[in-house]
Structure 1
Amino acid sequence: IEKTHVGEDEACYDAAVDLAEQGCNIIFANSFGHESYMLQAAAEFPEVQFCHATGYQAASAGLPNIHNYFTAIYESRYVSGVVAGLKLNEMIAAGTITPDAAKMGYVGAFPYGEVVSGYTSFYLGAKSVCPTVTMEVQYTNSWADMSGENEVATSLIADGCVLISQHADTTGAPTACETEGVPCVGYNVDMISVAPTTALTSATINWAPYYTYAVKSLVDGTAIAIDWCQGYKDDAVAISTLNDAAIAEGTKDKVAEIEAALKEGTLKVFDTTTFTVGGKTIESLITDNADFAKYSAFVADGYFHESEVISAPAFDLRIDGITELTK
C-alpha cells in the first residue's frame, strides 16, 4: 500500500496510523520531517515496524520498532565531485578560466547536516583533482522549488560560478545551466534529458538494498538494525550515466579508480588531512576548542566516520574553501 504527497505535518501521523490499521507489518517514511510522526505512531503500534529515512532519533527513542536508514550518498557525491573537478581542469587547460577562477556554485535546500555533508563531500571530490577550486552555496529553503532553484543557479552563475551542483529535487538548476552553457552535476536522477550539453552526471541513491534487507528481516524474524547505512560496497549509491557530450577526457577511467577505492575502503571521503576549519585541523579543534568536542565521537583513524555512528549525516562542519551566501 502506498501513500504519496504526504506532508511533514500531522498528515504523516494519520497516514502511518491508517496503514497500520490496514494491517501493514512494516511502514516506510522517506522525508526528514516525517520522523516525529513516525515515532508517535510507532509508540501506538508496537507490533508494526516503522522505518524512517534520513532521521536520527531511533537510537534514542527507546522503541524497538522504530528504525532509521540512509545511504552513504556522500560517497557518490564525492565521485560526482571528481567528475566536476576534471571538468574544471579541462576548462583551465583550454584557457576558458584561470586556476583561481575555478569556482563552483551549489544550490542547497536547507542548511541541515544532510545538505552540508553532501556539498562538502562533493567539494572534496572536486578538490582532490583540482586543488584551486572554491565553492559558493546558496539555499532555497525548500526541498523542491523549481523556480527558486533556477533563480539561485542563475544568481550563482552571475556571481562567477563556472560549474553548478545541487541538493534540491527538481530540474530547475540544470535547466538554468543549459540556458547559460554552464556545466552541472545533478542529484537523484539523470539530468541529461534537460541539460543535454551541460549535465555531466548526477549523484544517485539506490534504496533497493535497504528495502530488501528490512522486509527480509521481517519475514525471517530477525531484528532490523536501529540504524542502517551502506554505500558503494553494497550498491546503495552510484552516479548516473556519464554524459559523453560534456565530461572531460579521462573521466571514466578516473571514476572507475575512485569507485574501486571506495568499495575497497582504501579511500575515505572525509580524510581529515584534506580539509581545515578556520585554518585548523578538526583533531586540533577537538582538543583545543570545547565547541568542537562533540565531534570526538566521529573522528578516529584519520577520518570523520560519516553515517557510521548514526545513519543520518552528521558532518556539519563549514570547511575552508566553501562560502555560504545564505543561511
Structure 2
Amino acid sequence: MTDFSILDLVPVREGGTLSQAFEAARDLAVAAEQLGCKRFWVAEHHAMDGIAGGATSVVLAHIGNATSTIRIGSGGIMLPNHTPFQIAEQFRTLDALFPGRVDLGLGRAPGAGPELQRALRKDLHRAAEMFPQDVVELRALLEGTPAVGIRATPGHGAAVEMWMLGSSLFGAQLAAQLGLPYAFASHFAPDHLDTAIALYRRNFTPSATCPQPRVMAAMNLFVADTEDEAQTLASSQMQSFVALRTGAPGRLRPPVAGYRESLPPTAQAMLRHIGQASAIGTPQTVRDEVQRFIARTGADEIVFAGPTFDPAARIRSLELALDALAG
C-alpha cells in the first residue's frame, strides 16, 4: 500500500504576512494528520521573500506542537549550509519534543549565490564536496558512535529517521551506498526520476535502520470540482516557476484563469517540462494520474507539493484527492 505525505514550502502570499504563512502551514499539517497522511515535511530555502521555511527546525517545532501523530521533518535540510554537529543538536531536540515522529531529509545543493555564502560564513561549494562525509558524520552523531570523538547533547542516540533527497543520480547512489531511504524531487526536476530510482534499487546496501530500499517520489497536486478550476488553482505555482526562471522570484501570487495559455510558447514548454510529475484536475483525473505515477515508479510513498494562494483551497484539494484515492 502506498503512503501519502505533504511537502510544504511555507509560502508567503502577496499581501500576506509571515505569521499568516506559519498559521497556514500549521493548519495544513493538522488537516493532513486528520486525513491520514504519513508525514509533513518542510523545505529549507534562504533569502527568498516568498518562502518562510528557512529556519526549518523552528518551523517543525511549531508544526509538531499543533499535531500529535503525523511524522514531521525536513524535505530537506541543505547540509552544506550547516555543520553536522548543529543539525544533530537541532533534530535530537525535535526528537525529544516529539518522540518517534521526526524525519531528517538531507540535500546537497547549497542553492546559494555569493551573498548567502558570505552571510553563512561558509564556502558552500567546498561544503557540497564534503557532503558524503558530513552525512556519515551526522548519522554517527545522532547514533552516538564513540569514534566521532564528541557527543552532541542534545543529539546523542536520537531515533531520527534519516532520508537522502535528490534530483540527480548522485543522491541515489549515496542513498544506496549508505542504506538510507531515498526521496526524489520529481515535482520540479523530473528528468532523472526513472534512472535514479533504478540505480538506487540496483545498488542498495541494507542497513540496520533500512533493510530494504524505500522510495518516495514527489508530485504536484491541485484538485478541484472542475478541470478549469484546478488549472486556475495551479496557476499560482506556475507563476512562481516562471518568476524564478526569469530571475524575479517573489511572493505567491493570486491565481489567474487561463494563465498557462496566456504565456509565450517557450514558457508553456518550460511549465510542461518541469510539471511532468503533476496531478491537476478533478478527483477522477487526479486519481488516475497518481495511480499511473505509482505504477511507473513503484514508489512506496508519494509526497504531494503544490501551494495555493488560498490556504483553504490546498486543504480542500488534499481532501478531494485522498478521498478519490481511497475509493
Q: TM-score, normalised by structure 1?
A: 0.32
Higher alpha-carbon Rg: 1
Q: Which structure shows the higher helix fraction?
A: 2
